[in-house]
Structure 1
Amino acid sequence: MSLLDLSWRNMKRSFRLYSIYFISMLIGVIIYFTFSSLMFNKDILAAIENKENFQLGVSIASAVVFLFIIFFILYANSFFMKQRKKEFGMYLLYGMSERHIVWMVFLETVILSAISIVSGILVGGLLSKFFGMLLMNLMQYDDVISFAFPPEAIRSTILLFAVIILIICAQSYMTVRRVQLVELFRAKAVKDKPHRFSAWLAIASVLLLGIAFYLISRDGSSVVWQDYIMVSMIAVTVGIIDGTYLFFRQFFGWILGKLSGRNNYYNGNRMLWISSLRFSIRGNTLMLTFISLFSALIIFLVGFVSINYTVQILSAGKEFPNHIAFSSQDAIKQKQIEQLIQNDHPITHHTRIDGLAAEPITDSAIAFGNSDADNTGILLFPESQFNDIVSVRGDKQQVNLKGQEAVVLLPVGAHPISFTEGNRPAFTVKLKEEATFRLTEKKNYTFLSKATDSKGDVGLYPSILIISDQAFAELKPGASLSPFDIYQIENARNSTALSHQVHDLVTETPGTYYAAFVDLYSIDIETSSLLLFSAAFLAVIALFALGSIIYFKQLREATEELRHYSILRKLGMDDDEMKRVIRKQLLFVFLPPIVLGLLHSWFLLIYPTMEEVKDYPQIKSIITAVLILYVTIYALFYLSSASVYYKIANPKNAMN
C-alpha cells in the first residue's frame, strides 16, 4: 500500500477528526481570499477617490490577516497531531520511519489544502461581492460591485498556503521527533494536581480590578490623571493584567472550592463538573487570562473605530455645512459656475453673504482663544444673514443682538461660553476706523469652514464675529467688503468631480477662498470606512482564533476524558445527564473570560472615549451593538464545543 493510499484511507476512516482540520483550513482560505480580493477589485478601485491610501491600508491589514491565519491553522494542526499520537505510535512500531510519517502528513495536508483552496476561493469570490457592497455602503457610495476572482488574489492565496504547508510539515516533523514511542501509545496529558487557592489572593484580584476600573472611570481633569498620570497608567495596567490573572488563578478556584465544600456538593451532577474544573484550573489560567484580555482589546478596537466612523459622518456636516462656498466672482464667471453646478447637481439653495474685513486691535486670544482659527484677519457678518443661513440648515442657533453686542464663532468641538451681563469682554477691531464690541457669547458653530481642495482642508477656520444689523450698517460705508456665495445641492456626497471643476475655476485667482463639503467628506469617510471594515474583519478572525483555542483544548480534554465518561456511563449516567455535566463544565470555561473581557472593554470605551464624543447620542447604541455581536458569535462557539465535546466523550460515539 502506498503512502497516498494510506493517507486517503486515514481521511475516510477518521472523517470527523479530519473534517475539523479541513474546516479550519477552509475558513482560513475564505477569509484571506475574501479580504485580499477586495484590494484588487476593479469596481472598488474605480469608486474610491484615494486609491493609494486604500491599497496601502488593505495591504497592511492583509499582512495582519496573513499572520492570524497562520496562527489559526497551525493551532488547529497542533490539535490534529496530538489527537493522532497513538496512530503514529502504531506506524513507528510497524517499522515506518519518521520521514515516512512526515511525508504522509504532507500528502494529507496537500490534499486537504487543494480542496480547501478551490472551495475557499469559490466561496470567497461570492463573499467578496457581499463585503465589497458592504464597504461601498459604509462609504455611502452607490457603485455596483460585481463578482470577481482577481488573479492577484488567487496567486497570493496559493502562495500563503504553500508557506503554511511547509510550516505544517516542519511542525509535524518536530512533533514526531520530540515524542518517545511509549508516550505515543499513552497519547494523553498527565492530569494536573488540584491547585491550592488563597482567599487573600482571591480578594486581591478583585481589589486590583476594582482599582483599575475606578481610575479608568475618573474624569481626565481629575487629580489622579492631572498630577499622577504615569502612576495612574501603571496602576491601571497592573490592575487589569495582574487582576485578571489572579482572578482566574485564585478567585475562580476559590469560588469552586467554596462550592465543593457546601452540603449539596454531592447532590445531582454538581460534583462531576466542579471537580473537573478544579483539576484544570492550573492548566487553563494563562489561556483564560489571554482570552479575556485579548477579547477586551478586540472589542475596544472595533468599538473605537465604529465610534470614529460615526463621528466622522456626523461631524462632517457640522464642520463643513456648506456644500460649496467661495469668494464671489465677477458676473461672467459666477454665471459659468452656477450653470456648471446646476447641470451636475440641482441647487436646493443659494445665498450671498457680505462680510466686512477687519484687523484685530485687541489680543485675538480674548475672543478666539487657542482655537484652530485664522487670527490675522477677522470677518464681521450681520445677525440677519447669520440667522437666515441657520434657518436654511434647520439648526436652532439664531442670535439676537443689539448695538455693539457680538457673538464669536468657534470651530466645532471648541468649548462654548455665555457671558453674563456684567462680565462681557471688550473686543476692538479696525476697519476704516476702530470699533469696540462686547462679546455676549462664544458659539461653536461653523458659518464658513476651512478652505479645501481635492486633497482635503488646506487652511484655517476664518475668524468670524456676528454683529448686530445696526452696527453692520454703520460700519459698512467705506469698509472693505468680502462677499461669499454659498450653495446647497442635491446628493452632495457624490459631487467630487463637480467640486474639482468649481475649485479650478475659483482658484484661477491665487488665494481665493473655496470650500466644499465633499472634499473632506470623501477623504474622511473612505479612511474611517476602511478602518472600520478592516477592524471588523480582523476582529472576526481574532474571534475565530480565540474560539479555536478554547474549542480545540476542550476537544482534546474530551478525548482524554473518554475513559472517565465510559465509567460514568456504566454507573448509570444517561445521555441527558451527561449533556448537562458537559454544558455546565464548558460554561465555566467560556463564560468568565468573556464577561471579564466585556467589563474591561466597557470601561475603556465608555469613560475615556465617551468623554470625547458625548455630544453624539448614537455612540452608546454602537458600543452596545458591538458587544452583542461579539457575545453572539462567542455563544455559537460555546454551543458548538458542547455538542462536539459530547460526541467525542460519549463512548457510544467514540471515533476509535
Structure 2
Amino acid sequence: MSLFDLTIRNVKRNFRLYSIYLMSMIIGVIIQYTFSSLMYNKDIIDALQNRELFRTGVAIASVVIFLFIIFFILYANSFFMRQRKKEFGMYLLYGLNERQLVRMIFYETLVMGAISLVVGILLGGLLSKLFGMLLMNLMQYDQVISLSFPIGAMATAAGVILLIALIVSAQSYILVNRVQLTELFHAKQKAEKPVRVSPVMAVLAVLLIGVALFLICSGQYSAVWQDYGVFSLIATAIGIVGGTYLFFRQFAGWLLQLISRGRKYHEGNTVLWTSSLRFQIRGNTLNLTFISLFSAVIVMLLCFVTINYKVQFEAVGRNVPNSIAYESLDSATNQKIDEMIKGSDHDIHYHLKPEALVVEPVTERGIAFDNPEYYVPGLWLISQKDYNELIGLRGDKQKVELKGMEAVALSQGSDFPKRYSAGETPDFKVKAVGEKTFTIVEKKDYAYLGWATDPVLSMDKKPPVFVISDEAYGQLSGGTKKKGFEIYGLSDAKNAEELSKQVHGMVVDHNKAAYYSSFADIYSKQIESSSLLLFAAGFLALIATFALASVIYFKQLREATDERLQYAILRKMGIHNRQFRSVIRKQLLFVFLPPIVLGMLYSWTIIKYYILDSVTDFPELPGIVWSIIGVFFFIYLVFYVSSANLYYRIINQNP
C-alpha cells in the first residue's frame, strides 16, 4: 500500500477527528478568498474614486489576514497532531521513518486542502458578494455587485492552501523528530502540576489592575498625566500586563483554593470542577493573559475605526464646508467658471462673493489658533455681515454678534474652543492702517472657508480667519489689502469630483498660489478610506476573535481528551451524565469568562476616557461601542457552548 493510499484510508477512517481540522481549513479559505476577491471585483473597482488606495489597502489587509489564518490553522494542527501521537508511534514502530510520516501528513493536508478549497471558494464567492454590498453601503454608493469568481482570488486561495500544507508539514516534522518513540505512546499521560499560590500575590494582582484602571479613568487632561505622563504610561502598562498575568496565575488559583477550604466544598459537584481547574492553571495562564490583552486591543481598534467612520461624514463637512470656494480671479475667468458650474449637473443653491482684509499679525497666532503651523501665513478679516450671511445659508447655528473691536477667531479643529468671559478676553494686535488691537471674545471651532484642497493632493493648509464687527471692518477697509472669494453651494456636492477638477485647473492656471477648496475633493477620499479601514478592521477583528477563542477551544478539547480516563472512573463510581454536564459548564465558564471580561473592561475604560469624551457631539457612539462589545461576548458564548458540548462528547468516548 502506497503512502497516498494510506492517507486516503486515514481520512476515511478518522473523518470525525479530521472534521475539526477540516473545518478550520475551510474557514481559513473562506476568509482569505472572501477578502481577496474584493480586490478583483470589477463592480467594486468601477464604483471607487480612489482605486489605487483601495488596492493597496486590501493588499496590506490581506497579508495581515493571512498571518492570522496561519496562526489559526497551526494552532488547530497542534491539537490535531496531539490526538494522533499514539497513531504516529504505531507507524514508526511498524517501520515508517520520519520523512515518510511527514510526507503522509503533507498528502493528508493536500487532500483536506483540496476539499477546503472547493467548499471555501463556493461559500466565499457568495460571501464576497454580500461583503461587497456591505462595503458599497458603507461608502454610500449605489452600485450593484454581481456574483463572480475571479481567477486571481482563486489562485491566491490555492497558493495559501499549498503554503499551509508546507508549513504544517514542517511543524509536524519538528513535532515528530523532537520526541522519543515512547513519548508518543505516553504523550497524553503527562499531567500538569498545580501552581503554588500566595494571597499576597493574589492581592497584588488586584492592586495592579486597580492602579491601571485608576490612571486610565483619571483622563488625559488630569494632573497625573499632564505632569507625569511617561511615568503614568509605564505604570498603566505594568498594571495591565503584570496584573492580568498575576490574576490568572495567582488570583484565580487563590480563589479556587479558597473555595476548596469552604464548608460546602464537598457538596454537589464543586470538588470536581475546582480540582480540575487547579491543575490547568499553569498551562492556561499565558493563553488567558494573551487573550485578555489582545481582545482588548482588537476591541479598541474596531471601536476607534467605527467612531472614525461615524465622525468622518460630519468631519468632512466641518473641514471643508463649501461645495466650491476659490479666491477671485479676473472677471473673465470668474465668468467662465460660473458658466462651467451652471452647465454642470449640479444646481446652484447660492453664490456669494465676500471679501476679506489681509493683515499681518503682531501678536503670536497661537493665542487665537491651535497648531498655527497648519494655517497659511498672515490673517484674514471677515465682516460680521458676510459671515452671518453664509452661515444662514448653511443653516448652522454659529452666527455672531460683535461690536467695536471685538473679534471671533475661527480656530477650526480646536480641541479647546472657548467663549471668554468678561476680564479674560485676550488682546490681539495686527498691522492694518497702523497697529490695531482686537479683543478676542471667542475661539470658535468652526470654518468659514475651510481647508485649501487639491483634487489629487487632498488637503493643504487652513486660512486664518477672524470675524470682526461691521464697524471695525468699515474702519480698516480703506487702506488695507483685500481678497475676494467666490463661494458656491451646490446640490449633490459629494459627487462633484469632475467639476472640481475642471474648476481647480482653471484657478491654478491663472494663479498657482490662489486659495481653492472643494468638498468633493475630500469627501470621496475620506469616506472611501474610512470605509475601507472599518471594513478591513471588522474583518481582522472577526478573524482575530475566532483565533483567540479557538485557543481556548482547542486547549479545552485537548484537556478533555486527556481526562477521558478520569471521567470513565467517575462514571463507574456512579456520577451521572447530568452532573458531568454541570461540571463541564462550570469548568469552561471559569476559563472563557474572565479573559473576555478583563479585555472588555480595559478596552471600554480606554475608549470611554480617551475617545468618547473627545467626541461628545455624537450621542449615539456609546451605544455603538456597547454593541461591538456585545458582539464579542456573543462570539465567545457560541464558542463556550460549542466547546462544552464537544467536551462532553469526548469524555463519553472510550479512553
Higher deviation after alignment, 545-554 or 346-355: 346-355
Quote the offset at 1:435 in angstroms.
Answer: 4.6
Quote the offset at 1:37 in angstroms.
Answer: 1.8
Q: How does 1:112-261 map to 2 (within 5 A)?
A: 112-261=112-261
Q: How does 1:77-96 map to 2 (within 5 A)?
A: 77-96=77-96
Cα distance change on mapping 1:489 and 1:78 into 2, 3 Å:
same
Cα distance change on mapping 1:294 and 1:450 into 2, 3 Å:
same
Size of the aligned set, in residue pairs, is 653
Number of the residue aligned with 1:29: 29
Number of the residue aligned with 1:573: 575
Number of the residue aligned with 2:389: 388
The partner residue of 2:635 within 633, 645, 653 is 633
Quote the offset at 1:129 in angstroms.
Answer: 1.9
Equivalent position amino acid for 2:619 in 1: P
The partner residue of 1:594 within 593, 596, 605 is 596
Find the aligned partners of 1:126 and 1:236 in 2 and give their Cα distance. Answer: 45
Deviation by residue 1:442-478 (Cα, 9 ceiling, x = unmatched): 2221001121111344543222222223333444456
Find the aligned partners of 2:9 and 2:36 in 1 and give their Cα distance. Answer: 35
Number of the residue aligned with 2:540: 538
SS of equivalent residue, structure 1 residue 406: strand
SS of equivalent residue, structure 1 residue 264: coil
Number of the residue aligned with 1:517: 519
SS of equivalent residue, structure 2 residue 467: strand
Quote the offset at 1:580 in angstroms.
Answer: 1.5
Number of the residue aligned with 1:526: 528
Matched, 1:12 2:8: no
Quote the offset at 1:258 in angstroms.
Answer: 1.1
Find the aligned partners of 1:246 and 1:261 in 2 and give their Cα distance. Answer: 21
Cα distance change on mapping 1:457 and 1:166 into 2, 3 Å:
closer
Number of the residue aligned with 2:284: 284
Structure 2's unaligned 5+ residue stretches are none
Quote the offset at 1:265 in angstroms.
Answer: 1.2
Higher deviation after alignment, 511-520 or 349-358: 349-358
Number of the residue aligned with 1:604: 606
Deviation by residue 1:65-96 (Cα, 9 ceiling, x = unmatched): 22221121111111111111222233333344
Number of the residue aligned with 1:617: 619
**TM-score when normalising by structure 2:** 0.94
Quote the offset at 1:202 in angstroms.
Answer: 0.3
SS of equivalent residue, structure 1 residue 68: helix
- Residues 102, 169 of structure 1: 8 Å contact kept: yes
Find the aligned partners of 1:188 and 1:458 in 2 and give their Cα distance. Answer: 62
- Residues 371, 411 of structure 1: 8 Å contact kept: no
Number of the residue aligned with 1:60: 60
Find the aligned partners of 2:549 and 2:374 in 1 and give their Cα distance. Answer: 50
SS of equivalent residue, structure 1 residue 266: coil
- Residues 405, 437 of structure 1: 8 Å contact kept: yes
Number of the residue aligned with 1:486: 487
Cα distance change on mapping 1:373 and 1:87 into 2, 3 Å:
closer
Find the aligned partners of 1:564 and 1:371 in 2 and give their Cα distance. Answer: 71
Equivalent position amino acid for 1:411 in 2: Q
Equivalent position amino acid for 1:453 in 2: D
Quote the offset at 1:251 in angstroms.
Answer: 0.4
Deviation by residue 1:515-534 (Cα, 9 ceiling, x = unmatched): 01121222222222222222
Quote the offset at 1:587 in angstroms.
Answer: 0.5
Higher deviation after alignment, 623-632 or 135-144: 135-144
Number of the residue aligned with 1:345: 346
- Residues 369, 414 of structure 2: 8 Å contact kept: no
- Residues 85, 184 of structure 2: 8 Å contact kept: yes
Quote the offset at 1:399 in angstroms.
Answer: 1.0
- Residues 450, 457 of structure 1: 8 Å contact kept: no
Deviation by residue 1:211-232 (Cα, 9 ceiling, x = unmatched): 1111222233434323333322
Quote the offset at 1:18 in angstroms.
Answer: 0.7
Superposed structure 1 runs of 4+ greater than 6 Å apart: none
Quote the offset at 1:498 in angstroms.
Answer: 1.9
Find the aligned partners of 2:438 and 2:225 in 1 and give their Cα distance. Answer: 39
Find the aligned partners of 1:136 and 1:559 in 2 and give their Cα distance. Answer: 46
Higher deviation after alignment, 253-262 or 49-58: 49-58
Find the aligned partners of 1:144 and 1:351 in 2 and give their Cα distance. Answer: 38
Find the aligned partners of 1:97 and 1:374 in 2 and give their Cα distance. Answer: 72
Equivalent position amino acid for 2:178 in 1: R
SS of equivalent residue, structure 1 residue 188: helix
Number of the residue aligned with 1:415: 416
- Residues 365, 372 of structure 2: 8 Å contact kept: no
Number of the residue aligned with 2:566: 564
Cα distance change on mapping 1:215 and 1:17 into 2, 3 Å:
same
Quote the offset at 1:496 in angstroms.
Answer: 1.5
Quote the offset at 1:479 in angstroms.
Answer: 4.8
Find the aligned partners of 1:422 and 1:93 in 2 and give their Cα distance. Answer: 93
Equivalent position amino acid for 1:230 in 2: V
Quote the offset at 1:312 in angstroms.
Answer: 2.6
Q: How does 1:313-392 map to 2 (within 5 A)?
A: 313-342=313-342, 343-368=344-369, 370-372=371-373, 374=375, 376-392=377-393
Find the aligned partners of 2:145 and 2:330 in 1 and give their Cα distance. Answer: 43
Cα distance change on mapping 1:130 and 1:315 into 2, 3 Å:
same
Number of the residue aligned with 1:109: 109
Equivalent position amino acid for 1:564 in 2: Q
Higher deviation after alignment, 62-71 or 354-363: 354-363
Find the aligned partners of 1:424 and 1:263 in 2 and give their Cα distance. Answer: 70
- Residues 370, 414 of structure 2: 8 Å contact kept: no
Find the aligned partners of 1:624 and 1:434 in 2 and give their Cα distance. Answer: 55
Higher deviation after alignment, 585-594 or 297-306: 297-306
Quote the offset at 1:272 in angstroms.
Answer: 1.1
- Residues 30, 124 of structure 2: 8 Å contact kept: yes
Find the aligned partners of 2:364 and 2:96 in 1 and give their Cα distance. Answer: 89
Cα distance change on mapping 1:414 and 1:483 into 2, 3 Å:
farther
Quote the offset at 1:331 in angstroms.
Answer: 5.0
**TM-score when normalising by structure 1:** 0.94
SS of equivalent residue, structure 1 residue 350: strand
Cα distance change on mapping 1:12 and 1:373 into 2, 3 Å:
closer
SS of equivalent residue, structure 2 residue 641: helix
Let me know the Cα RMSD of the aligned residues: 2.3
Higher deviation after alignment, 449-458 or 71-80: 449-458
- Residues 371, 414 of structure 1: 8 Å contact kept: no
SS of equivalent residue, structure 2 residue 204: helix
